[in-house]
Amino acid sequence: MKLFKIKRFFSGRRGRYLLFAAVSLLSILLLLVGNILFTQLAKKKNIFTDLSAEGLYTMTDLMEQTMTSVDRDITVTFCSDPDVLYANERLRHVYILALEVAKKSDRITVETVNIKKEPERVERFRTTGASEILPTDVIFSSGARYAIYGQNAFWSTESDGTTVWAFQGEYKMATAILTVAASSLPSAYFSVGHGELYYDPNNADHPDNAYLEEFYRLLLETGMTVGTVDLEKEDVPEDCALLLVIEPKTDFVNDSLHSLYEKPALERLDRYLCGEYGSTMVFLDPEHTLPNLNEFLGEWGLAVGDGTVADTKGSLDPEAGGKTLIATYGNANDESAVGYSYYSSIASLVAPPKTILKDVRPLSLTWGEEESYEFHYNYISLCRGVSPFFLSSAGAQVVKGSETVAQGGPFVLAAISTQIYTDSIGNDHFSYVFTAGGSEMISSEFLKNAAYANRDITASVLREISRTDAYAPMELGAANLNNQETYGGNRLQSDAFESTEGLTLGKIVLYTLLVLVPAIAAPVVCIVIRIRRRYL
């Protein structure tokens, strides 16, 4: 009897109306719940359709193969909650890439930490008491070994510091993971014993740490540990990938009267550079002239001038004497130049970012553009060449105190010398000497400023001349999105992240369907239900 009454009720107009109302409400609720569940599941399982013209969300086969070969447990820590990462245009790509990497390797784990609420969880990654870990940082760690990358490290920006023009996510992530997973790491050694500047990770109060903090982080990102060496007392260590000589105040001389060498420190440096490999960066002090070191640089095609380069037009501080120089790139249009591969892509941008050098003494090339030094003995040969790296403007001059000692620029602010040593069986070995007239180009002040190219250029030099490839293979970038031939990574079709510029026809159709179908389906369903309810 009750069942009959229920059927009779729903067969009537009012019952059918209420039934459709309940079905409508239930459908809407199911639609909302289903959308929430699918969204959360898609985020958790990293399910997505890559509609970017450049394939920014698609991991390449080479990247996948490289990640599956990782044989140590790696943790990738993002310093913000997932919703913040997805909302951040630069970190979203990196986060999704990391999740894809974790799906391909059971040795790689991705975690998120809200460091504003739980700062203690990343405390062990702070290098000094003054170090700061930002919500936009990404930390790669394995045991006690780690590397910290800022969000901008995965992108290349133009001169405004905000407009991105290339994504180098795969290259940077592979570099970081391979670095912390390496069985052994190369080292960058700071020369000490001559009043040089150096970074001391074991002493938070070391006076040079603040000045070199960002450079130290860059060395870690490149895949090197840090140490010190006194060449007056010891040889260059075997694991040295890069020797750093930063503003020595006293010359490289010997304190021992019983030494077999007149200049043992430079002899050790020369042997290091003339072996199978060797790389050094020398940053001169504009106020101290060191004859022995200058003579050594002369053997690599460089003459060190006296005074400081000033430019009241091509500088950031014309009213203060113009010693904070806006450098130009040497031989930016000459593909055969030694330095071309380091800066060509940045220099060729419509608005190339500026590289800043401050308090720089002038250099000059003793061999000229087309000249070089060559030595041949039996089947062994050695060839050295030098190329300008940074130049001042043509209107610059050299000053010493209140006196102008030279005019008629451009003056060489930094140069790179290259040596090719061919052994008896025909194998070539490369060594590099990068020399700058001052060290401000690697100071934290300029490396931290995204409006300048100092960080990109310095990172490029470190990557090219240091032998980190023997420990964490860097050739990955040559066969994927992040092509090293166009430094900075995969060029974007547009400077707008959500742009459809460059999409294929298939992606445009799919993009249109994904955008329009849900928007059209919802009102259509509502209209149908409304009509059915009205004519019950």
Confidence of residue 41 (pLDDT cuts 50, 70, 90): low
The Cα–Cα gap between 340 and 333 comes to 8
Residue whose entry in the numeric block shows the structure tokens 């509502």: 526
- 98 token code pair: 């990391």
Compute the average pLDDT of residues 386-404: 89
Domains and CATH numbers, the chain: 2-49+506-534 (no CATH), 55-182+480-502 (3.40.30.10), 183-471 (3.40.50)
pLDDT value of residue 342: 67
Q: What is the pLDDT of residues 308-323, one digit of tens each?
A: 999 988 889 988 889 9
Is the Cβ–Cβ distance between 134 and 79 less than 8 Å? yes
Is the Cβ–Cβ distance between 410 and 391 less than 8 Å? yes
pLDDT value of residue 516: 58
pLDDT value of residue 450: 80
Segment (H or E) for 114 = none
- 486 token code pair: 């166009």
Per-residue pLDDT for 414 more than 70?
A: yes
Compute the average pLDDT of residues 130-150: 82
pLDDT value of residue 17: 62
Of 61-70, 71-80, 90-99, where does the model show the most confidence?
A: 71-80
The one-character DSSP state at 276 is: S
The one-character DSSP state at 237 is: P
Per-residue pLDDT for 120 more than 80?
A: yes
Which has the closest alpha carbon to 429: 419, 437, 441, 438? 419
pLDDT value of residue 380: 65
Per-residue pLDDT for 139 more than 90?
A: yes
Per-residue pLDDT for 452 more than 50?
A: yes
Confidence of residue 469 (pLDDT cuts 50, 70, 90): very low
pLDDT value of residue 229: 95
| Phi and psi, residue 299, nearest 5° | -70, -15
Confidence of residue 125 (pLDDT cuts 50, 70, 90): confident
What is the per-residue burial (b if ≥16 Cβ within 10 Å, else e) of 137-150? Answer: bbbbbbeebbbbbb
Q: What is the pLDDT of residues 239-254, one digit of tens each?
A: 888 999 999 999 987 5
What is the per-residue burial (b if ≥16 Cβ within 10 Å, else e) of 91-117? Answer: bbbbbbbbbbbbebbebbebebbebee
The Cα–Cα gap between 166 and 482 comes to 9
CB-neighbour burial class of residue 492 (10 A; exposed 0-12, middle 13-18, buried 19+): buried
Which has the closest alpha carbon to 107: 56, 146, 66, 139? 66
Per-residue pLDDT for 58 more than 80?
A: no
